[in-house]
């Protein structure tokens, strides 16, 4: 088991700006301590927004409070945004049509439609493909000796898996990957929102065309399921189809891709844990869960209060934005024994990296399978790994991880 580096204890919470991506880059080594201070001294914290004519928002940092709001879709809604970027703008353009930002009966019915495609039995052929792909990509990277693990290995596994799931033709997959990277271009500090918006619109148009094709010639894929689905005897709207295809792409890519990249980084920087995994002293199953807890790739989600709610002696007013910080809840000492220790054998491990409650991540099973396949391939084919250069962290107040991670890989003899 390996501990994080000692961190400062004198943290001014009023000076922590959670809207600024630079906070998560410049103060990366302090974050464990910053979140501990939030949980201890201000677990339900009012956060003003600087330099913008919008109200502030509440910050929930304790596991039990985060879980309470995740469970409660009666007093809190996702339909006016579910991350800071949309919540502070007043809403999400896909509200009521995309599963992640839909509540009530429509959410339940949409989720039931998609569950048919995401059931473990239905996903088994996809998971078999994940294992083959992860094994091949790692073997090829080891044969080269050096690679950018983020760009040469990790990003190709979830995107190819999603393409399989959605039934994207092989000829379109490079185009799809290019659009998706542009849609997430805000991960890079120098890239702007306009490029991302254009790419998102092109993705929506692409899936509109693909849905038309599937109506004429259905296949065994998510697009066909959505195109053929009915709710109360009525087919899904065009927007429901394309928004939920987009949601599968973005949601299915981020968690597993960033977790795999960070897993590689952490195994290199925590060699004791790498030796435990390599020797079979810990299971790949438990390693997957600890990677997800430790990394917490989606740092927060959010809701808007529908009525006045009391949490920890603070009154959250109807209309207030409430943010749920997974990156703090996953390190809560009330739930996790010595959470500052990276322990691949940790059990139990009830992290919230996939959320909880009615909006629990639909792709959790597949995400776990992808990380499992990657760790298995690393354990099988890699003797030693090292950093060839520092990783390039993502510029975001939502996602945590690296967009580039140059590594050296020495093969088993």
Closest CA to 210 of 167, 150, 261: 167
Closest CA to 362 of 67, 164, 115: 115
The most distant pair of C-alpha atoms in the chain lies apart, rounded to whole Å, by 63
> What is this structure's pTM?
0.93
Closest CA to 386 of 262, 264, 261, 294: 264
Q: What confidence score (pLDDT) does residue 185 get?
A: 53
Q: What confidence score (pLDDT) does residue 190 get?
A: 58
- Supply the range of the domain harboring residue 235: 2-411
Q: What confidence score (pLDDT) does residue 119 get?
A: 85
The number of folded domains in the chain is 1
Mention every residue, 6+ apart, whose C-beta is less than 8 A from residue 330. 63, 293, 294, 296, 336, 339, 351, 352, 353
Report how far residue 326's alpha carbon sits from residue 82's, in angstroms, rounded to the nearest whole number: 13
pLDDT tens, per residue, the chain with 413 residues: 554 433 334 457 988 999 999 999 999 999 999 999 999 999 999 999 987 778 899 999 999 999 999 999 999 999 999 999 999 998 999 999 999 999 999 999 999 999 988 888 889 999 999 999 999 999 999 999 999 999 999 989 998 899 899 999 889 988 887 888 777 655 555 556 788 889 889 999 999 999 999 999 999 899 999 999 999 999 999 999 999 999 998 888 888 999 999 999 999 999 999 999 999 999 999 999 999 999 999 999 999 999 999 999 999 999 999 999 999 999 999 999 999 999 999 999 999 999 999 999 999 999 999 999 999 999 999 999 999 999 999 989 999 999 999 999 999 87
* DSSP secondary structure code for residue 344 in this structure: T
Q: What confidence score (pLDDT) does residue 143 get?
A: 97
CATH number at residue 318: 1.10.630.10
Closest CA to 339 of 24, 37, 38, 1: 1
Assign 387 to helix, strand or coil.
strand
Strand partners, 82: none
Q: What confidence score (pLDDT) does residue 195 get?
A: 81
Q: Tell me how crowded residue 384 is: count the other CB atoms within 10 A of its CB.
A: 13
Q: What is the pLDDT of residues 378-413, one digit of tens each?
A: 999 999 999 999 999 998 999 999 999 999 999 987
């Amino acid at each position: 088991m390996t501990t994080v580096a000692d961190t400062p204890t004198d943290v001014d919470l009023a000076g922590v700006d959670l809207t600024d991506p630079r906070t998560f880059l410049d103060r990366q080594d302090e974050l464990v301590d910053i979140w501990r201070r939030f949980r201890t001294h201000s677990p339900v914290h009012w956060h003003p927004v600087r330099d913008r004519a919008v109200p502030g928002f509440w910050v929930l940092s304790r596991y039990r409070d985060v879980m309470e709001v995740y469970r409660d879709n009666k007093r809190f809604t996702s339909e006016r945004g579910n991350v800071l970027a949309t919540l502070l703008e007043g809403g999400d353009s896909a509200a009521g049509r995309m599963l992640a930002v839909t509540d009530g009966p429509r959410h339940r019915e949409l989720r039931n439609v998609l569950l048919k495609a995401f059931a473990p039995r239905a996903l088994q052929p996809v998971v078999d493909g994940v294992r083959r792909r992860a094994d091949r990509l790692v073997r090829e990277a080891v044969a080269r000796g050096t690679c950018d693990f983020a760009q040469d290995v990790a990003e190709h596994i979830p995107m190819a898996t999603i393409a399989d799931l959605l039934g994207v033709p092989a000829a379109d997959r490079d185009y799809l990957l290019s659009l998706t990277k542009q849609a997430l271009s805000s991960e890079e500090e120098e890239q702007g929102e306009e490029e991302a918006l254009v790419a998102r619109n092109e993705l929506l148009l692409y899936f509109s065309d693909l849905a038309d094709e599937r109506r004429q010639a259905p296949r065994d894929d998510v697009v066909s399921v959505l195109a053929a689905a009915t709710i109360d005897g009525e087919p899904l709207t065009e927007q429901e189809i394309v928004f939920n295809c987009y949601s599968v792409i973005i949601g299915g890519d981020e968690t597993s891709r960033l977790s795999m990249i960070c897993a590689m980084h952490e195994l290199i920087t925590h060699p004791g844990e790498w030796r435990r995994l390599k020797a079979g002293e810990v299971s790949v199953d438990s390693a997957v869960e600890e990677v997800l807890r430790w990394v917490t790739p989606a740092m927060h989600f959010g809701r808007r209060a529908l009525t006045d709610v009391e949490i920890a002696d603070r009154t959250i007013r109807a209309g207030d934005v409430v943010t749920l910080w997974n990156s703090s809840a996953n390190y809560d000492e009330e739930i996790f024994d010595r959470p500052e220790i990276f322990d691949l054998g940790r059990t139990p491990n009830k992290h919230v990296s996939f959320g909880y409650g009615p909006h629990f991540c639909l792709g959790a099973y597949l995400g776990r399978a992808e990380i499992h396949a990657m760790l298995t391939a690393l354990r099988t084919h890699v003797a030693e790994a090292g950093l060839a250069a520092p990783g390039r962290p993502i510029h975001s107040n939502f996602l945590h991880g690296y967009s580039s991670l140059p590594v050296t890989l020495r093969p088993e003899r």
